Structure 1
Amino acid sequence: MDMKTLATYDRDAADYAQEWESQPAGEDLRDTVRKFFTQGPTIDVGCGSGRDAAWLNANGYPTVGVDASKGLLLQAHEMHPELSLFQSALPELVGVKEQSFENVLCETVIMHLPIDLIEPSVQKLLRLLKSQGILYLSWRVTEEEDKRDERGRLYAAFDERIVINGLAGAQLLMDEKIVSQSSGKIIRRIVVRKN
């Protein structure tokens, strides 16, 4: 992960967690999960406050949450003590066993990565899946050049073919752009099945 972004999440973890927890996951995300995910082991990569992992866990998808930010994980442990959570970062995801999940959720994470880490991160997400497993991947679309918000978080501007290349060999089930209800920004959402 971009180190300045990680430092921001660690420093302001309580603020981010409170903000995310005050907004339930969008119905569009929940509908997509219900449509494509199968019951079984699930991982939320970039789980933040644990909001989505807790919803998944409570709805029949036994979920492990992983995040690069120690500060966010402390908030997640406090808010969702029932969850199994640990610290690790893309693209390595040290401590996460490959081919052990039916579902992978990676919601608005990869745009915080330096461009050279995006494709290997997407490839790693696919390797976490069992055969026929489902990956939900989304990111905020940034046009023209990288941007940082007022707190210093990176929003990488990258050619979306980087992601498509990283998904080579997987079956595309959904590919769409939506406008985020919370931020008003364009979000690209992709769902694939691992062959």
Structure 2
Amino acid sequence: MDRTTLSAYDTAAAAFAQDWHDQPPPSDLHAIVDSFFVQGTVADIGCGSGREVAWLAANGFPAQGFDASDGLLAEARRRYPQLSFRHAELPDMDGIAPASFDNVLCETVIMHLEHAAIAPSVRRLLDIAKPGGVLYLSWRVTPDADLRDKQGRLYAAFDAGLVRAELAVAQSLLDEQVVSASSGKTIHRMVVRKAG
């Protein structure tokens, strides 16, 4: 992950966690999970404060959360001590074996990566899904040029074709640009099924 972005999350983890928990529930994301995920385990890559890991676990999907920010992981463990959260950083995600999870969820994370890390991160996200498993991937859309918000977080501008090219080996189930029900921001999201 971009180091300035990671530092922002570590420094203000409690404030970010509270902001996310104060947002409306992501009912659109939950509907996608219900529609496309297969029964089984879920890896939430970039789990932040653990909100979606908790929702997944409460709705029949045994889930593990992974994040690059130790500050956010501390918030997740404090809020949900009964759930599992581990450190892992895109693109390598050391310690996660290939074909480990039935489903992989990566919600608005890859736009925080430097351009050179985006394609290998998408490949690795698909890699950790089991054959026949499902990957949900979304990112916040930044038109024209990269930008940083007032906290210093990077929002990389890139074409969706970059992600499509890396996921071309999988079956496309959903590919759309929408306004998130939770954040109110424009996001692009894709759902694919890994070849069995």
Give the TM-score, by structure 2 length: 0.97
Segment of structure 1 superposing worse, 124-133 or 157-166:
157-166
Correspondence for 2:71: 71
* Gaps in structure 2 of 5+ consecutive residues: none
Deviation at 1:99, TM superposition (A): 0.2
CA distance in structure 1 between the aligned counterparts of 2:179 and 2:36, rounded to whole angstroms? 21
Partner SS state of residue 184, structure 2: coil
Kept in 1, the 8 Å contact 2:49–2:75? The answer is yes
Please, what TM-score do these two structures have when normalized by structure 1?
Answer: 0.97
Secondary structure of the structure 2 residue equivalent to 1:139:
strand
Letter in 2 for 1:3: R
Give CA deviations for 1:54-112 in whole Å, capped at 9, x if unaligned: 10011111001000000000000000111111111000000111101110000000000
Report which stretch shifted further, 182-191 or 77-86.
Answer: 182-191
Which residue number in structure 2 is paired with residue 4 of structure 1? Answer: 4
CA contact (8 A) 2:177 2:188 kept: yes
- What is the CA-CA distance between 1:23 and the residue it aligns to? 2.4
Q: What is the identity percentage for the equivalent residue pairs of Structure 1 and Structure 2?
A: 55
- Give the C-alpha shift of residue 47 in structure 1: 0.1
Residue 91 of structure 1 contacts residue 117 of structure 1 at CA under 8 Å; is this kept in 2? yes
1:153 aligns with 2:171: no
Match of 2:165 in 1: 165
* RMSD, matched Cα: 0.9
Q: Which amino acid aligns with 1:137?
A: L
Q: Deviations over 1:107-135 (max 9, x none)?
A: 00000000110000000000001111000
**Distance (Å, rounded) in 1 between the aligned partners of 2:143 and 2:183:** 16
* Structure 2 counterpart of 1:92: 92
Matches within 5 A, 1:12-31: 12-31=12-31
Output the CA distance in 2 between the equivalents of 1:160 and 1:38. Answer: 25
Cα distance between partner residues in 1 of 2:64 and 2:124: 16
Number of residue equivalences: 195
Residue in 1 aligned with 2:125? 125
1:173/1:193 contact within 8 Å kept: yes
Query: Which runs of structure 1 show a deviation greater than 4 angstroms over 4 or more consecutive aligned residues?
Result: none
SS at match of 2:9: helix
CA distance in 2, matches of 1:83, 1:138: 23
State the match for 2:50 in structure 1: 50
In structure 1, the gaps of 5 or more residues are: none
Distance 1:27 1:183 in 2: 11
CA distance in 2, matches of 1:127, 1:9: 26
Q: CA deviation at 1:14?
A: 0.3
Query: Do the aligned residues in 1 keep the contact of 2:108 with 2:137 (CA within 8 Å)?
Result: yes
Structure 2 counterpart of 1:188: 188
Give 3-state SS (helix, strand or coil) of 2:176's partner. strand
Aligned counterpart, 1:59: 59
After TM superposition, give the deviation of residue 184 of structure 1 in Å.
3.1
How big is the shift at 1:24? 4.5
